[in-house]
Chain A
Amino acid sequence: MSPETRPDFLITPEGLRLDGRRFDELRPIELQCGVLKTADGSASIRQGKTYILAAVYGPRELHPRHLTLGDRAFLRCVYRMATFSVPDRKKAAPSRREREISMVVANALEPALFLEEFPKTVIDVFIQVIQADGGTRCASITAASLALADAGIPMRSLVPAVAVGKADGKLIVDLGDEEDKYGQGDVPIAILPRTEELTLLQQDGYFTREEFLEAMQMGINACKYIHELQKDALKRAYAKRAPEGSDEEEEEDEGGSEYEDNLEADIGESDYDEEDER
């Protein structure tokens, strides 16, 4: 058992959180698309110390066949935590919590997808938590929706998600592991940003009505920020796949060859050629 003790306070006397963040400040988020070679779509998210990979396969044939739905695709989400993702070794068998989060993630993503366009198929979403430091279910949704978009599956919108919680009586956004464990409450939410429709809303702990409404507003604002990061990651992935303009691509090739020529000039080879010609 790793030595873990409850910190004396979750909010410092200066009004900052344990890792020096303000109440409505997110951890640094790093999103990346197309991280896995064999998946149809993939994404990774690094949110503070949390690191999660999401892979999407499909739409493809569903085995076992009896699970196929005649009018739409079957969205199969699997959330797994690596045995080394937490301080104590996590047992390899899927736990009740993992099964619950798998279902919750599937339900959060489903309203954003046009599943009825691909009847009798399955869209597999595999989420692997490499390192867990709080907020994994929200980070999973953020990464999985990005992986779905990377796979080219038609979506109404990306789905950003974030957790809002309460620690020492203050509402805080994007809980870390200790704030999650020793705080007084936790509300993970996922939204469709354009319409602000909620696709995930869970609660742990107690909130007054006013607190809850304020927490919702803080969460929606944070989600919109994450949505911008998601859009940016997708555009970066697109630019990587197809460098700007086919004409410019050729120019790049020419530039490359010019560079090689310069190298030859440096070692004096091109000079020799010229002399030979003379």
Chain B
Amino acid sequence: MADVKSGDVVVPGDQLCVIEELSSGFGTYEQDGIVYAAASGAVHIDLKERSIKVLEKDGSVRIALPMKGDTLVGEVVNAYEQRAEVSLVKRNDADVPSPFIGEIHISNVTRRYVKSMYDVIKSGDIVRAMATNTHTIPVQLTLIGPKLGVMLAKCSKCGNSLSLTTGNNLVCLRCENRETREVASDYGQRFGLEPRPDLAPRKRSYDEKRYDSERPRRDRESFRERRPSRTSESRERGRGTSSRPVRRRTSGDDRRPRVRRQ
């Protein structure tokens, strides 16, 4: 069989086998029908796949770039409507000496529909993500999975760390601002932020929401003017994850142009 057996320590340039015996996998290369080692490490022969690899003792590939399936931790440096850029500093719980850039597309944040990246990720957040491609720059990331997501978020108004209430709802304990994120299952726990389910956004009944819908339009407009518009905006954002359709907008009585919805 091959010139080497599983577990042998090889260095780059060592002859491993011929291509008819085993096809070349990670850490090997093939030249003129002969498979050579391209990395230093232990030989792993997979007889089921009939492939030969050169890996570390624990089966990992010793290279600075992340591989598919690696768990990465980083800070969101830029968030856009459709994608976000992350500066990655940890790979599989080990610090990386030179941070590299990862990218999250809006379709890889959760399984459900997300209207805008700003509803789930904002710049300054610390996220845990998984790489979906191997040895490329920028790294494509996904947040789908219970352990993946935002680990720590900052209030966009005052910069204080946000506390988790329920689901994906967060509240700032300093300025009472409510925001939403796609959070990891252990949100804030590494940073000493206890979940605060008692501060969960109160659900208003459907009646309460449309209590004045039967009244004449003039009445309602005057009510709107009196009400500060900011609170209505923030309250709405606090409800961002609910599946309830926004009836108020479709009913056509809202003349105020909404920039984010256009």
Q: Please choose the segment from B53-61, B143-151, B173-181, B218-226 that sits at the chain A interface, where 4 or more of its residues have CB less than 8 A away.
A: B53-61
Whether the pair A154, B98 counts as a contact (CB closer than 8 A) is no
Q: Which residues of the other chain, B, contact A238 by a CB distance below 8 angstroms?
A: 9, 40-42, 57
Binds B, one of A57-65, A165-173, A177-185, A252-260: A57-65
How far does the Cβ of A162 sit from chain B's closest Cβ, in whole Å? 17
Closest B residue by C-beta to A233 = B11
Instruction: Tell me the chain A residues, 145-161 only, with Cβ under 8 Å from chain B.
Output: 149-158
Q: Tell me if A40 is interfacial: C-beta within 8 Å of chain B.
A: yes
- Is A6 at the interface (CB under 8 A from chain B)? no
Q: Which of B175-228 contact A (CB under 8 A)?
A: none
At the interface, yes or no: B141 with Cβ under 8 Å from chain A? no
For the complex, give the distance between the alpha carbons of A235 and B56 in Å.
12
Chain A residues positioned under 8 Å from B62 (CB to CB): 151-152
Q: Contact: B13 with A156, CB < 8 Å?
A: yes
Q: Which residues of A contact B100 (CB under 8 A)?
A: 60-61
> How many Cβ-Cβ contacts under 8 Å join chain A to chain B?
97
Minimum Cβ distance to chain B for residue A103 (Å): 23
Contact status A241-B12, CB under 8 Å? no
Complex contact A57–B137 (CB within 8 A): no
Query: With contacts A57-B98, A58-B98, A156-B38 known, is A149 near B12, CB below 8 A?
Result: yes
C-alpha gap A237/B11 in the complex (Å): 11
Q: Which residue of B lies closest to A244 (CB)?
A: B57
| Chain A neighbourhood of B137, CB < 8 A | 59-61, 118, 120-121
A231 to B37, CA, bound (A): 12
- Within the complex, the shortest CB–CB distance from A34 to chain B, in Å, comes to 11
Q: Is B64 an interface residue (CB 8 A)?
A: yes
CA distance A194 to B37 in the complex (A): 12
B19 at the interface (CB under 8 A from A): no
Residues from 70 to 108 in B contacting A, C-beta threshold 8 Å: 97-98, 100-101
Contact of B13 among A120, A152, A155, A237 (CB under 8 A): A155
**Interface flag for A239 (CB, 8 Å):** yes
Q: Top 4 closest A-B pairs, CB basis?
A: A242-B57, A152-B62, A157-B13, A154-B38
19 extra interface residue pairs, beta carbon distance < 8 Å, beyond A40-B98, A118-B137: A39-B97, A40-B63, A57-B64, A57-B98, A60-B100, A61-B137, A112-B12, A114-B29, A149-B12, A152-B61, A152-B63, A155-B39, A156-B36, A157-B12, A235-B9, A238-B57, A239-B9, A242-B57, A246-B57
